[in-house]
Homo-oligomer: A and B are copies of this chain.
Amino acid sequence: MALISPITSSHGKTFNQKLFSRIRVAIESDVPHIYKLMQQLFVYHDITHLLKSNESSIASGLFNPKYPHLSPVTTLLIEVSTDPFPSCPNDTTSSKEVDLNMPLIDEESEQFRVVKHDQHDVFIAGYVMFYPCFSSFFENPVFHMENFFIRECYRRKGFGKWLFSTMASEAARMGFSSIDWYASDWNESGLDFYKHMGATISDDFRVLSLAGKALEAFEDDSN
């Protein structure tokens, strides 16, 4: 991992005093950025050995499902810019200004640069991915939150709360009964954040899976 230094930081984007941001629904051309965010999420959780997807399978899963009956997946992105975003009649977009106490340096800005809007520099700061599903526990469907990630340099600015709240608002307005997800038990700051958002952490549920060769072994199973 690159150390933060004046030399490398000179290649990144520096935000002074003010930062403009918005949340919007991801589209297919965002997939390369989504996959890079996903890789950082798996690195953060130290579970890169579990990452068996690739950019192509994510594109297919999100936008061109081979299995059309699967619940559609929604990805919300947080974008940041030094300039205000143009106002937009699209309800799925919400905007916010953030005052910075000190300059914010995004070392990896070029990897997360969005195709320019109106000649403005726009970068992806984080994302949340979720889909609706049936639940035997509740009267109405629930959201399963598949991924939630804010890039490191954009943390502790309220973006996580904004992004999570946007998804939770959507669930509540649709009359859904719950949002469920997994988190690592060593991730104290993550768990504290979720508890602060009102989440309940199950005391005794464990997450199990049957995958790889253990699952393939059932292919010719004649019972």
Contacts and interface: CB of A to CB of B under 8 A. Distances in A.
Given A133-B133, A171-B215, A197 B210 contact: yes
A206 B211 contact: no
Interface residues of A, number: 79
Interface of A: 38, 50-54, 57-58, 61-62, 65, 67, 69-73, 94, 96, 129, 131-142, 144, 146-147, 162, 165-166, 168-169, 171-173, 176-186, 191, 194, 197-202, 204-212, 214-219, 221, 223
Copies in the complex: 2
A177 B52 contact: yes
Interface SS of A by simple majority:
mixed
Given A178-B215, A199-B210, A201-B208, 4 more contacts: A53-B138, A166-B223, A179-B215, A207-B207
A191 B219 contact: no
Contacts of A50: 137
Given A134-B70, A211-B178, A221-B168, A139 B96 contact: no
